[in-house]
Structure 1
Amino acid sequence: MTRPMLRPLTALTAAGMIALAPVAASAQEAAIYSSMDAVHPVWAKSAMVSVQEAVAAEVGLQVLKDGGNAVDAGVAVALALAVTLPRAGNLGGGGFMMVHDAASGETKAIDYREMAPASATRDMYLDAEGNADSNLSRFTGMAVGVPGTVAGMQLALETYGTMTLAEAAAPAIKLAEDGILVTADLADSLKALEKRLKTWPASAAIFYKPDGSFYEPGDLFKQPDLAATLKTIAAEGPDGFYKGEVAEKIAASVQEAGGSMTVEDLANYRAVIRAPVTGTYRGHEIVSMPPPSSGGTHIIQILNVMEGYPIGFLGHNSSDTIHLMAEAMKRAYADRSEYLGDPDFVDVPVAALTSKDYAAKIRDGISLNRATPSETIKPGKLAPYESDQTTHFSIVDKDGNAVSNTYTLNFSYGSGMTAAGTGVLLNNEMDDFSAKPGVPNAYGLIGGDANAVEPGKRPLSSMSPTIVLKDGKPFLVTGSPGGSRIITTTLQVISNMIDHGMNVAEATNAARIHHQWLPDEIRVEDGGLSRDTVAALEAKGHTIAVRSVMGSTQSIHVDAEKGLLLGASDPRRTGSATVGY
């Protein structure tokens, strides 16, 4: 095959397109690339990694080049992000991983969500008057759930990977030990979170200079305690985290901060493999995270409702399309408040929520021209019965295996607390439980009895790692951070590609909207909608709230017809990268 030109493999960042490694391109490939629309996706022929942080993306790409598969690369990326993106990448948090195995055609969900300690009680976050005290569930030792990331990465490797945990951890160890160059994004986040982090001496000692001053862009930032913890994990496997000295230090730090997590809680943690939640949308199969995530269930529920309307004909972000999407979103979030929780503790009616018949009943209650007030919307009568600073990555390897992973500490830098002597930032995921039925959490989400605190229970999450299949093979691998807006952000990327024929970069860049039932408003990105569209929505009875941008999707489109991987990192946050070969 003739190769008359070299084209640069590129990565989308907030600053635009940046060149990475030159990759040979045929004349035919060049023609395909040049014919794409103005917003170009990154493209590659063999494998691709899309990550919110560029150094970790390169770690994943190197694993793939060295012969590792998508899961090997995913674990290496997750461990590297604990070093390079400490506000969300983590050892002390948890999350969800979707894995598509090309050989078997199966897609499975790995649940490594945090768990409540054995001492947890239903009313542990109520004050003497019976009111929810958010400080307890966010910024004390009581906020910390038993971390799941290390166990989840091991489960992924032993089930689907080809590498050992030690091999996957090697790049992260080197980054923590030798240091990383501070980016503007990292420097800005440490300045913004100074108060939270400096509350905890162990965190202050790591994330600020000895005199208390800030790390600036270009400074070398080393994390020797984290490197030592990673080395222990590499040598001993998960036992190096959940047992022994590291576990003792984590439990001691939590207890000193007012929590009651014990070394037994850590030793008893288990990650689990679950069957994904599935649905169909206009000839595609949607495969996403089941409970204790609410994401997959409600993405499918909303898409089922939308499928009954000619969304493509109505137009992208037209007032009619947004109206119908918002009405579907309202009803899904109302159902979330009633029915969703940890399936090991409550019966979650996933089949009913994701049925086409239920979607038809929802459509019967939607007016085409008038908004339904949220106060009149109640959870549906069925058959018996997540921080902005989360991070997501997507990976597809040369064999067609795919990983969609979303994990988090909840808030930026979690509780702000680092377990002394470990370098491990600790989550504040206990805030994702319903401290009191009907009382909103930090993201305004209402919860009920299904998500009440119980020992060993996993809190409900909105994280929505998703793989869209076409003809049984990956078509789109996507996901996002964004707290309560993760569900609607992921949904819109899917709709933009399927309904509106956008390429993956256009689908990523397009303006987003969000409705979560309460408060009764359509949140829109600043500058995302025209005045005429806003006026038309208000005429239908909607309240419009203009806010900052939503989400940070990392997406890969597998174009089977062209034999290409097309990827895009969200420009809404700096420092991300989509790379491939």
Structure 2
Amino acid sequence: MNDALPRTGFFRSRILTTLVLWITFPLFLLQPSQGYGASRAPVWGPRGLVATVSPAASEVGASILRQGGNAADAAVAVGFALAVTWPAAGNLGGGGFALVRSQDGKSNFIDYRETAPAAADKNFYLDAKGEIIPGASTRGFRAIATPGTVAGMALLHKKYGKLPWKKVIEPARRLAVEGFIVDQSFVSMLESHKERLEKFPVSRRIFLKNGKDLKVGDRFVQTDLGWSLTQIQKSGESAFYSGTIAKRMVAAIKKGGGVITLDDLKNYKAVERAPLEGRYKNYQILTAPPPSSGGALLLAMLGMLEKDDVQALGFGSAAYNHLLVETMKRAFADRSEWFGDPDFVQNPLKKFLAPDYLAKRRANINMSKATPSQEIKPGDFSDKESQDTTHYTIVDAQGMIISNTYTLNGSFGSGVTAEGTGILMNNEMDDFSSKPGSPNMYGLLQSDRNAIAPKKRPLSSMTPTIVLEGGKPILALGSPGGPTIINSVFQVTLNTLALGMDIQTAIDAPKLHHQWMPDRILSEPWGVNPDTKKIMQSMGHNFGDRSFHFGDVQAVLYDKERKQWSGGSDSRHGGSVAVE
């Protein structure tokens, strides 16, 4: 994700930066009076389904399936299409993770997370006094990490795709060159981030039309981005990492005071990792390993609730909300201390996910009283052991599933569009610990395990997940939202597996978020009724001053009785599910 209301110009202190977390993506899609309402029906499909935040991108994916492509072909096509139709998070200049479950039952995790440039080090954003330079890691050219999206899409296609590369890139190229008709969601996205975009001349020219703002019904053409997509279509990832696009990007970044070089781009590699695996009751969970913390926290929270009958507590009751929030606090406390890029640090996953440790964490939850966050300490795993974002989910008729989350970090990333390319660049460097113990723009506290180092991948919250029952996939999902990603996926998983909701209802149900620090609950508008809130406050819970919508889950769920997949796309945010 991952955010949404404008932040550029507001970074006068890290305290204010932390407050901005609570007004992050995807709030720009909502009018202030809009709240949670009745859920729509899921979309059913006898063959393939594509769930994304952008109806145009969903249709791109479905059209690729209709042309004989598989889920991987559709995922690549959607990834490039979202860079055109959803520029706040869809991207070529960012990075992410793809969780793959192929039709033969094999699973894989493609890590195309951005990396720190060679010139960056742990003091990259500190002044002479050792203090964080406000805004340096969140906006402008020095905030940019080496992008991984194009390499990730290329690797996904090379390993699993069926259709020619040129064919899967064509829909995105055409959308950029010929344009598309913008809707209210798109216009609101631009309006909410106008302040960020207008500070950079190229971004101002492309997205704000130099003051002649786009209106609903206008056709939005991106000529420069169309040129870049044409180069990628012709020459593959080499165009981006060593060819003409690379040269233009590096020239623009250098001119703006950034440090990414041609060598940084040439040396970038997407990597394959084993998915993180765990269980919840009778279900097998496949999810994101480090450098994402999301999968580990998801498994930890589900593990803490292994023996609880959450359905008996009643969805939305004070007891239900209390248990979820206390579980979140404990998982995020451990996140603050123990996670980082596995190529640089050892992540204590075995100890963190050990059933006896999770049982102790659960036993520490007092069901009648909130535990203040300052009293919850990270676990001790010191002994060594071996060992703005958007999400889309695709299933094809042969049973291949792709759960993909990718990001520019903040909405529209650094705000920078590389001149002559149309490519928005990320501000992913903020996901590192600029100064261990100081919050990043999402208010997250992180340790020196996540300190900046050349070629290192920053810690992430992205949580693409696939759930199996009896060895067969039944649920795939993910979300944007910075740290709220983890809790969005956690709650939708519970809504389906433990509470029996259909996929659309599970997505649309109101959510809560707590990340240990700051010690307060983020709730959605009309998500907690006043009586329940009063009970929770009497138990010692603190709520934020305002309520916000967060997350944008895109998911598919298999119905064993109907022997058919259903798809859901968050009703709050204008997305859709397209049918093959």
TM-score, normalised relative to structure 2: 0.91
State the partner residue of 1:256: 255
SS in 1 for 2:211: coil
Residues 38 and 290 from structure 1, CA distance in 2 versus in 1: closer, same or farther, beyond 3 angstroms?
A: closer
State the partner residue of 1:507: 506
> Residues 484-530 of structure 1: CA distance to partner in whole angstroms, max 9, x if unpaired?
10000010000011111111111011110011000111211121111
One-letter amino acid of the counterpart of residue 99, structure 1: V
One-letter amino acid of the counterpart of residue 218, structure 1: G
Q: How many residue pairs align between the two structures? A: 541
Rounded to whole Å, the distance in 2 between the matches of 1:298 and 1:76 is 30
CA contact (8 A) 1:392 1:405 kept: yes
| Identical columns (%) | 45
CA shift at 1:38, angstroms?
7.4
SS in 2 for 1:260: coil
CA contact (8 A) 2:91 2:424 kept: yes
1:365-380 equivalences under 5 Å are 365-380=364-379
One-letter amino acid of the counterpart of residue 77, structure 2: A
CA contact (8 A) 1:122 1:452 kept: yes
CA shift at 1:383, angstroms?
5.7
State the partner residue of 1:190: 190
State the partner residue of 2:96: 95
1:113-128 equivalences under 5 Å are 113-128=113-128
SS in 1 for 2:305: helix
State the partner residue of 2:552: 552
State the partner residue of 1:165: 165
SS in 2 for 1:330: helix
CA contact (8 A) 2:40 2:571 kept: no
State the partner residue of 2:299: 300
> Residues 47-94 of structure 1: CA distance to partner in whole angstroms, max 9, x if unpaired?
101000000000000111111110110000000011111111100000
CA contact (8 A) 1:392 1:480 kept: yes
SS in 1 for 2:522: strand
Rounded to whole Å, the distance in 2 between the matches of 1:193 and 1:146 is 23
> Residues 177-209 of structure 1: CA distance to partner in whole angstroms, max 9, x if unpaired?
111112211112222222211211111221132
Rounded to whole Å, the distance in 1 between the matches of 2:196 and 2:82 is 21
One-letter amino acid of the counterpart of residue 88, structure 2: R
State the partner residue of 2:324: 325
One-letter amino acid of the counterpart of residue 181, structure 2: L
State the partner residue of 1:154: 154
State the partner residue of 1:479: 478
Rounded to whole Å, the distance in 2 between the matches of 1:88 and 1:349 is 31
SS in 1 for 2:319: helix
Rounded to whole Å, the distance in 1 between the matches of 2:244 and 2:567 is 42
**More moved, 525-534 vs 492-501:** 525-534
State the partner residue of 1:41: 42
State the partner residue of 2:108: 108
1:7-46 equivalences under 5 Å are 39-46=40-47
State the partner residue of 1:55: 56
CA contact (8 A) 2:496 2:506 kept: yes
Rounded to whole Å, the distance in 2 between the matches of 1:221 and 1:229 is 17
SS in 1 for 2:565: strand
**More moved, 106-115 vs 197-206:** 197-206
Residues 484 and 38 from structure 1, CA distance in 2 versus in 1: closer, same or farther, beyond 3 angstroms?
A: closer
> Residues 369-417 of structure 1: CA distance to partner in whole angstroms, max 9, x if unpaired?
11111111111012624xxx31110000001110000101111111110
State the partner residue of 2:465: 466
1:59-98 equivalences under 5 Å are 59-98=60-99
SS in 2 for 1:127: coil
Rounded to whole Å, the distance in 1 between the matches of 2:151 and 2:70 is 19
One-letter amino acid of the counterpart of residue 91, structure 1: L
Q: Tell me which of the two structures has the higher relative contact order, counting C-alpha pairs closer than 8 angstroms and 6 or more residues apart.
A: 2
CA contact (8 A) 1:551 1:572 kept: no
Taking only aligned residues, the RMSD between alpha carbons, in angstroms, comes to 1.4
1:326-341 equivalences under 5 Å are 326-341=325-340
Rounded to whole Å, the distance in 1 between the matches of 2:405 and 2:289 is 13
CA contact (8 A) 1:296 1:464 kept: yes
**More moved, 470-479 vs 75-84:** 470-479
Does 2:409 align with 1:410?
A: yes
TM-score, normalised relative to structure 1: 0.91
CA contact (8 A) 2:476 2:556 kept: yes
CA shift at 1:39, angstroms?
4.6
CA contact (8 A) 2:69 2:163 kept: yes
SS in 1 for 2:123: coil
State the partner residue of 2:393: 394
State the partner residue of 2:529: 530
CA contact (8 A) 1:414 1:425 kept: yes
SS in 2 for 1:475: strand
Does 2:356 align with 1:360?
A: no
> Residues 21-44 of structure 1: CA distance to partner in whole angstroms, max 9, x if unpaired?
xxxxxxxxxxxxxxxx97521111
SS in 2 for 1:572: coil
> Structure 2: which 5+ residue stretches go unaligned?
1-28, 31-37
As a proportion of its length, which structure holds more strand? 1
CA shift at 1:364, angstroms?
2.3
Rounded to whole Å, the distance in 2 between the matches of 1:315 and 1:339 is 33
One-letter amino acid of the counterpart of residue 373, structure 1: P
CA contact (8 A) 1:157 1:164 kept: no
Rounded to whole Å, the distance in 1 between the matches of 2:306 and 2:144 is 40
Rounded to whole Å, the distance in 2 between the matches of 1:81 and 1:495 is 28
CA shift at 1:164, angstroms?
3.2
Rounded to whole Å, the distance in 2 between the matches of 1:327 and 1:191 is 37
One-letter amino acid of the counterpart of residue 159, structure 2: T
CA contact (8 A) 1:335 1:378 kept: yes
SS in 2 for 1:134: coil
CA contact (8 A) 1:140 1:415 kept: yes
CA contact (8 A) 1:315 1:500 kept: no
SS in 2 for 1:467: strand
State the partner residue of 2:571: 571
SS in 1 for 2:411: coil
Rounded to whole Å, the distance in 1 between the matches of 2:354 and 2:54 is 37
State the partner residue of 1:20: none
Rounded to whole Å, the distance in 2 between the matches of 1:109 and 1:427 is 22
One-letter amino acid of the counterpart of residue 476, structure 2: V
State the partner residue of 2:138: 138
Rounded to whole Å, the distance in 2 between the matches of 1:114 and 1:313 is 43
Rounded to whole Å, the distance in 2 between the matches of 1:478 and 1:226 is 29
1:282-297 equivalences under 5 Å are 282-297=281-296
State the partner residue of 1:225: 224
> Structure 1: which 5+ residue stretches go unaligned?
1-13, 16-36
One-letter amino acid of the counterpart of residue 277, structure 1: L
Rounded to whole Å, the distance in 1 between the matches of 2:186 and 2:367 is 45
Rounded to whole Å, the distance in 2 between the matches of 1:141 and 1:224 is 22
